[in-house]
Amino acid sequence: MENTVKILNEVIGKIKDYNKKYGINIDEFHNVLFVTSILLALLFIFYIIFILFAIFFKKSKTNKVVLLLGPCESGKTTFLFKLKTDKMCRTVPSMKENVAFVFLKNIKKSKYIQFVDFPGHPKLAFGIKKYLNITNVIVYMLDSSDRQSLKYVAENMLELFMNKAIVKRQIPIIIFCNKTDLCNSRPKKVIKEDLEREIEILKMSKYNSLEDDMNDETECFLGVNSEFFRFERAPIHVEICSASIKNNNVDEVIELIGKYY
């Protein structure tokens, strides 16, 4: 403490010497020092605010992902390309995800939303884990004319319903029945009933295989054993819509996506 006082006295003494020698006004010097201190403090506060804003903006931005899932040839990449460019395109099955920011106008507040088009190849399904913590809504696309993929889609649905991260965050799922322009396409009501029937079969198979290891958590994912599966009883919110990307009839699915932004 004594050393600090001694140093301060020496500094004051030197300032007085400079004042005598060069005619510096001590009061003016104090005023300049005070104003400079205020400006530096304000600059520091603005810097902190900027850092906090940047962190918040980055967090809010990365938590607005629409995850496009579904079998190959269901129209995921075509849908993303259509949203981004308002044009149709011919695509081939991809082995890696496509990421794009899309400006959606047909929602309450027009904004840029990040879409992730994830490959439909079964061997790549494990890769969705890295996106689940930043996903707002899952859009599961299927070909409404493809009856052969029904069991595969039902298996995917059950896996999503049993995914702990999805259930914990209550990530909603929009089932997008695409290609309604085809003459052999099925109405969404029929697709819904067919999927519920297939999921019920898979659910009972899961129950039988896990009977010895059943717990409340598993029952929450699979539903009550005695009740026939319905999407209304799923552990997360599910909505179903039908559309045709080819006919530019996608307003319903865009409106549903907009509900979560």
Q: What is the CATH number of the domain that holds 250?
A: 3.40.50.300
Is 163 assigned a ligand-binding role in the annotation? Answer: no
Is 223 assigned a ligand-binding role in the annotation? Answer: no
* 160 and 201 both lie in a single domain: yes
The token pair at 182 is 């085809």
* 101 and 40 both lie in a single domain: no
Is 120 assigned a ligand-binding role in the annotation? Answer: yes
* 118 and 72 both lie in a single domain: yes
Summarize the confidence of residues 178-187 as an average pLDDT. Answer: 94
Alpha helices in 63-104 (DSSP H): 76-85
Is 185 assigned a ligand-binding role in the annotation? Answer: no
Summarize the confidence of residues 172-177 as an average pLDDT. Answer: 98
* 52 and 163 both lie in a single domain: no
Confidence band of 48 (pLDDT split at 50, 70, 90): confident
* 76 and 46 both lie in a single domain: no
| Number of separate domains in the chain | 2
pLDDT at 140: 97
Is 111 assigned a ligand-binding role in the annotation? Answer: no
Contact 95, 82 (CB under 8 A): no
pLDDT at 4: 56
Cα–Cα distance, 96 to 29 (Å, whole number): 65
Summarize the confidence of residues 100-119 as an average pLDDT. Answer: 84
* 73 and 38 both lie in a single domain: no
* 121 and 230 both lie in a single domain: yes
Is 241 assigned a ligand-binding role in the annotation? Answer: no
Among residues 15, 36, 59, which one ends one of the domains? 59
Tell me what percent of the residues of the chain surpass a pLDDT of 90: 45
pLDDT at 40: 76
Among residues 59, 80, 98, which one ends one of the domains? 59
Statement: residue 238 has pLDDT above 90:
yes
Summarize the confidence of residues 226-251 as an average pLDDT. Answer: 91
Summarize the confidence of residues 41-48 as an average pLDDT. Answer: 83
Cα–Cα distance, 68 to 257 (Å, whole number): 11
Is 178 assigned a ligand-binding role in the annotation? Answer: yes
Is 135 assigned a ligand-binding role in the annotation? Answer: no
Is 225 assigned a ligand-binding role in the annotation? Answer: no
Is 27 assigned a ligand-binding role in the annotation? Answer: no
Tell me what percent of the residues of the chain surpass a pLDDT of 70: 70
Is 78 assigned a ligand-binding role in the annotation? Answer: no
Statement: residue 27 has pLDDT above 60:
no
pLDDT at 29: 54
Is 84 assigned a ligand-binding role in the annotation? Answer: no
Calculate the average pLDDT of the chain.
Answer: 81
- Sheet containing strand 135-143, strands side by side: 98-104, 111-117, 65-69, 135-143, 173-178, 238-242
* 225 and 119 both lie in a single domain: yes
* 37 and 136 both lie in a single domain: no
Going by C-alpha positions, the residue among 159, 126, 146 that lies closest to residue 234 is: 159
* 13 and 141 both lie in a single domain: no
- Segment among 73-82, 121-130, 179-188 with least mean pLDDT: 121-130
- Segment among 195-209, 217-231, 238-252 with least mean pLDDT: 217-231
pLDDT at 51: 79
Summarize the confidence of residues 105-118 as an average pLDDT. Answer: 82
Is 180 assigned a ligand-binding role in the annotation? Answer: yes
The token pair at 214 is 């059943």
Is 4 assigned a ligand-binding role in the annotation? Answer: no
Domain encompassing residue 171: 64-258
Statement: residue 1 has pLDDT above 80:
no
* 231 and 118 both lie in a single domain: yes
